[in-house]
Amino acid sequence: MAGWVKIVGLGPGDEALVTPDVSAALDAATDVVGYIPYVRRVAERPGLTLHASDNRVELDRAGLALDLAAKGRRVVVVSSGDPGVFAMAAAVFEALEDRPERQAFDIEVMPGITAMLAAAARIGAPLGHDFAAINLSDNLKPWEVVVHRLRHAARGGFAMAFYNPRSKSRPHQFGEALEVLREELPGEVPIFFARAVSTDEEQIRTATLAEATPEMADMRTVVIVGTAATRAVGPFHYTPRSVS
Amino acid sequence: MAGWVKIVGLGPGDEALVTPDVSAALDAATDVVGYIPYVRRVAERPGLTLHASDNRVELDRAGLALDLAAKGRRVVVVSSGDPGVFAMAAAVFEALEDRPERQAFDIEVMPGITAMLAAAARIGAPLGHDFAAINLSDNLKPWEVVVHRLRHAARGGFAMAFYNPRSKSRPHQFGEALEVLREELPGEVPIFFARAVSTDEEQIRTATLAEATPEMADMRTVVIVGTAATRAVGPFHYTPRSVS
């Protein structure tokens, strides 16, 4: 087995946000494995096989990557953003648990620009102090766990970033999350809806917690919730470094 | 005023983790402003003035960048990691508040690979589920706020990343943080000490919460605390995507 698996982050969309490290891995690959829209971002070339699969088959996809590496292929598993933030790295390690030869695999994780940090940069510095990143999807955890974490993040005074705030199959969960936040935080706290950051379709909207509606988010949106201290300066918003 | 300020993240140290976006900004700059070790990472060239300053003068540094831009200079403010995560972006917006001409400034924030994500990639996927990023320094916030946030992050079941865990001037704070965590979490929870990630001096150490000692961290370390679900597979550790 002289193959390898590199689990890489392609960043939020703009090619100028892909690290040279990740570009070099893609140049050296024989196979690219990932969710259809992310694999589409990789340029085709002779000698490179693209394996694009649908959403919600992360474990099958991870298993395919390990199978290919075991046959000596050089495999890049692509995620958008960073592979360790609600993306493919954990799925590959989960698939690795089922392999008796797990120590033999040559695996590397390569970080990328995750959506919340690209979104925060566009807004200003809304995550300028302590913050929590929460996956709002209840695909893999009970909704009560999401609510429990929202309350603790709010009570701890954390800014927050929400991934997967709203899906077609569960359109109500983000509305429920807003209700929980309204129970815990002042209505003036700003919320930022950053859609498709760094792409041609980028859209950033700002609302207060009191004004925010579930329709402001969709599957391609990362939501950032400020704190009671977050404030506007010029066209930007930031959360101050100091807590008095 | 045709100058600009770009607040950029240089990533954790390896030049292969600097985005092309940031490299292009550095190529276009007339001035680079930042903390000494970060400015040292920028190559000197004719037409580029380097303004390196000591730590703990973030606001002065931010003011200098705005002054230079107001004179028409093209200024890059450098942070390590990501500029929006416990770095220079919030300081520049704070300095901007004092400027009556604040709407006129051409300011852009460019994301970078933040230390916790570079560290997580080396470890496996310890932040593979919901997580909180906490600055342990009490330079700019009371220590009681740090303790309050540690308790809520632990009770919420978040993995955690600690920036600035320990400094020469306050060597005791990280020991106190460990005590707080021991009150809240099982002793088997793994803690990862990632020092100088992606540089020649990189060192990753793993301990359980019960075993961890304050000396395992220093100023150049980012500390990652897993959850009760975090587990080893082969040479890696990951926090599973699922919560049952």
Listing DSSP states for B139-192 in one string gives SSS-HHHHHHHHHHHHHTT-EEEEES---SS-TTHHHHHHHHHHHHS-TT-EEE
**Which residue in B has a C-alpha nearest to residue A95's C-alpha?**
B233
Residue contact A234–B102, C-beta within 8 A: yes
- Mark which residues 174-213 of B lie under 8 Å from A by CB: none
Cβ-based contacts of A147 with chain B (< 8 Å): none
The one-character DSSP state at A169 is: S
Check B96 against A236: CB less than 8 A apart: yes
User: Across the interface, do A241 and B121 touch by the CB < 8 Å criterion?
Assistant: no
Torsion angles phi and psi, residue B71, rounded to 5? -90, 5
Among all residues of chain B, which has the CA nearest to that of A6? Answer: B121
CA distances from B161 to A85, A200, B30 (A): 13, 33, 35
Residue B11 and residue A18: Cβ atoms within 8 Å? no
Q: Are B117 and A85 in contact (CB under 8 A)?
A: yes
Q: pLDDT value at position B1?
A: 66
Distance CA A41, CA B224 (A): 31
Judge contact between B241 and B190, C-beta under 8 A.
Answer: no
A1 — pLDDT class (breaks 50, 70, 90) = low
Cα gap B115→B129, rounded to integer Å: 17
Give A225 to chain B, closest Cα distance, Å: 14
DSSP state of A66: H
CA dihedral sign, ordered B12, B18, B23, B24: negative
Identify the helix (H) or strand (E) that includes residue B238: strand B236-238
Cβ burial of A225 (10 Å; 0-12, 13-18, 19+) is buried
Q: Pick out chain B residues at pLDDT < 50.
A: none
For residue B31, report the phi and psi dihedrals to the nearest 5 degrees. Answer: -140, 140
Contacts of B57 (CB under 8 A, 6+ apart): none
Give Cα separations from B122 to A119, A123, A202, B126 (angstroms): 24, 29, 31, 10
Distance between A173 CA and the closest CA of chain B, angstroms: 17
Q: What would you report as the CA-atom Rg of chain B, rounded to the nearest whole angstrom?
A: 19
Tell me whether 0.90 is exceeded by the ipTM: yes
| A123: its two tokens | 């807004």
The Cα B76–Cα A70 span in angstroms is 45
> Helix, strand, or coil here: B200?
coil
B229 touches chain A (CB under 8 A): no
Determine the pLDDT at residue B41: 97
**Where do the DSSP E strands lie in A136-230?**
159-163, 190-195, 203-208, 221-225
How far off is chain A from B47, nearest CA to CA, in Å? 24
Token pair for residue B171?
A: 């060597």
> Which residues in chain B are closer than 8 Å to A152, comparing Cβ atoms?
152-153, 155-156, 158
In chain B, positions 38-67, which contact chain A (CB-CB < 8 Å)?
A: 58
Give φ, ψ of B18 to 5 degrees.
-90, 130
Report the DSSP beta bridge partners of residue A151: none
- Min distance B233 CA to chain A CA atoms (Å): 6
> CA–CA separation, A206 vs B231, rounded Å?
39
Q: How far is B210 from chain A (nearest CA, A)?
A: 24
CB atoms within 10 A of CB A203: 12
Distance CA A223, CA A162 (A): 5
pLDDT tens-digit readout, A30-69: 999 999 999 999 999 999 999 999 877 899 999 999 999 9
Give the model confidence (pLDDT) of A155-203 as tens digits.
999 999 999 998 877 778 899 999 999 999 999 999 999 999 999 999 9
Instruction: Determine how β-strand B231-233 pairs with β-strand B236-238.
Output: antiparallel
Q: Chains A and B: how many Cβ contacts under 8 Å?
A: 235
Q: CA B123, B187, B234 angle in degrees (round to 5)?
A: 30
Q: Tell me the pLDDT tens digit for each residue of A135-146.
A: 999 888 899 999
Domains of chain A: 4-113 (3.40.1010.10), 116-238 (3.30.950.10)
CB < 8 Å to A94, chain B:
233, 238, 240-241
Distances (CA, A) of A193 to A41, A214, B53, B80: 24, 11, 36, 26
Residue type, B239: T
| Phi, psi for residue B224 in degrees, rounded to 5 | -115, 130
CA distance A23 to A30: 13
- Taking an 8 Å cut-off on Cβ atoms, the answer to whether B130 and A134 are in contact is yes
Best to test chain A binding among B137, B148, B152, B162 (most A CBs inside 10 Å) = B152
Which site among A8, A109, A123 would you substitute to test the B interface, given the most B Cβ atoms closer than 10 Å to its Cβ?
Answer: A109
Q: Quick one: pLDDT at residue B54? A: 87
For A74-133, write each residue's pLDDT tens digit. 999 999 999 999 999 999 999 999 999 999 999 999 999 999 999 999 999 999 999 999
Helix (H) or strand (E) holding B92, with range, is helix B88-96
Residue with tokens 């800014």: A159
Sort A200 into a burial class: Cβ within 10 Å, 0-12 / 13-18 / 19+. Answer: exposed
Q: What is the pLDDT of residues A219-235, one digit of tens each?
A: 999 999 999 999 999 99
C-beta of residue A188 within 8 angstroms of C-beta of residue A208: yes
Instruction: Tell me whether strands B221-225 and B159-163 are parallel, antiparallel or unpaired.
Output: antiparallel
Report CB contact under 8 Å: B156, A157: no
Which A residues, 83 through 112, put their C-beta within 8 Å of a C-beta on chain B? 83-86, 89-91, 93-94, 96-97, 102-103, 105, 107-112
Taking the C-alpha atoms of residue B133 and residue B172, their distance in angstroms, rounded to an integer, is: 20
Q: Does B230 touch chain A (CB under 8 A)?
A: no
Task: Name which of A90, A135, A240 is nearest B238 (Cβ-Cβ).
Answer: A90
pLDDT tens figures, B40-60: 999 999 999 999 998 778 999
Q: What amino acid occupies position A159?
A: A
